[in-house]
Amino acid sequence: MTKLAVRESQNLRAVQELNMIEAPYSDKMRALCYEVSGHDELPHVVKFSGGKSSGLLLFILLEAGLLKAERGDVVVFNNTSAEHPATYDFVGRCKELTEAGYGIPFFLTEFQTYEDARNREWSRLPTYRLVHPTPWSETNLDGYHWRGEVFEEMLSWKGYTPNQFKRTCTSNLKLGPTRAFLKDWFACKQHTERLGHFGKSSRLDDDELYERHIRSRGNVPRDIFLWKKAYVRSRPAFRPPQRFADYSQAASPISNPHLEGKCFGDVAFFGVGGVDYLAFVGLRNDEKRRVMRVRQRNAGGPDSVGYEGEHVYLPLSDIGVTKEEVDAFWEKQTWGLSLHAEDGLSNCTYCFLKGARGLHRVHAALESGFQKSFENTPCDLQWWVEIEEKYGRDLEAEKRDIRSPVADNFIGFFGTQSGFSYQRLAQSHGDEAELSRFANSVLPCDCTD
């Protein structure tokens, strides 16, 4: 038996196991009521976070027969390069089962920049790339990154760290790549176009780059500004054309009249007269606050800006699924996400939204199982310490006029008011008194909404 036949046989066995266990959920989902007449004809997009809830959602939809490749349905996972290796293993297995067992395309995307001219000036512009579910290496250049490369490229491009007020990681590493990918996918073409110039080296000039910063009312000192921009300028200056079929064995022609005539140039557009689609998100019934906010956004609330054409569905919430039920489902499987919820390792490993105590649990879990391969990656706390020091804003070094009291003259992932940082986390050594000072720094992680 060939390796492919063995893998397909294993996939089918796993699918059969899911068939037996998931019947109650599937029956409920088959009775799904679409909110608006005609929504069943629109493309369905599963926003796959890489966690257990989104995994259960995906297989419920598949088992209920609610996803159809010819309609343009697709599963999308946005890689930040800051996930735990176990998450990538889980995503890869879910992709295999989804494509081999059900014939639905499943893509992994990553944020990247490319160099091109705008208004007669060379700039770094944002886009996305498709990647394979195997790690990047010198011999696998199309594999996914997991050593923080994508995350740092975004930080270097923006020039500062995200925080609770400006979640640039969410907007640029997840939302942006998904929308850019869907513009290509809904155009019903076979490949993405090459982006960037054809030169062998960067065409950005230090003087021009800094002059533009000044024109934009920036006042970061030149040496600090250029130091922060060094990493993004070292990244590839172009994105090569990519065939969808090379990144998904289930990629096939789309036949949906709702997508016809809705392209501007060679990409689809959203908004008036454009593409409408359904986005399926794995929020559970016990995540009331997040569910309520998404419902408000769907109704045209203030958060609807930037989501033209998207209609969010929350099936797990609709059928009453809770965290306990999600855990119970995966406990019955012969495979799954090998991370424990109590360790807080879901999503980006040391995400600042997990707060001081949450990050201590993450650190304790990662330290106890630390491997040599984790060094200088987002699974290593020192990586976050160095990243925050490099891309945070030193108000004193930048000679800023500090007009209000702050806990620290440094603006990193946690802002100036908390006084917390990854360096303080490293120095706390789990001291309860130290951590209690920052107990209120925890924030809800909404990056998969």
Written as one letter, the residue type at 107 is F
Close Cβ partners of 234 (under 8 Å, ≥ 6 residues apart):
none
- pLDDT tens digit sequence for 260-313: 999 998 999 999 999 999 999 999 988 888 888 888 776 555 545 557 999 999
Q: What is the pLDDT of residues 58-95, one digit of tens each?
A: 999 998 899 999 999 999 999 999 999 999 999 999 99
pLDDT of residue 428: 82
Element (H, E) at 156: helix 149-158
Region 180-198: what's the mean pLDDT? Answer: 96
- 110-164 pLDDT, tens digit per residue, is 999 999 998 889 999 999 999 999 999 999 999 999 999 999 999 999 999 998 8
What confidence score (pLDDT) does residue 435 get? Answer: 62
| Verdict on whether the full-model pTM lies above 0.85 | yes
pLDDT at position 4 is 44
What percentage of the chain exceeds 90 in pLDDT?
A: 63
Which DSSP string do the residues of 196-231 spell out, in sequence order? S---SS----HHHHHHHHHHTT----HHHHHHHHHH
pLDDT at residue 445, as a whole number = 57
Longest CA pairwise span in the chain (Å): 72
- CB 39, CB 28: distance < 8 Å: no
6 pLDDT band (50/70/90 cuts)?
A: very low
394-410 per-position pLDDT tens digit? 887 777 766 665 556 78
pLDDT at 299: 59
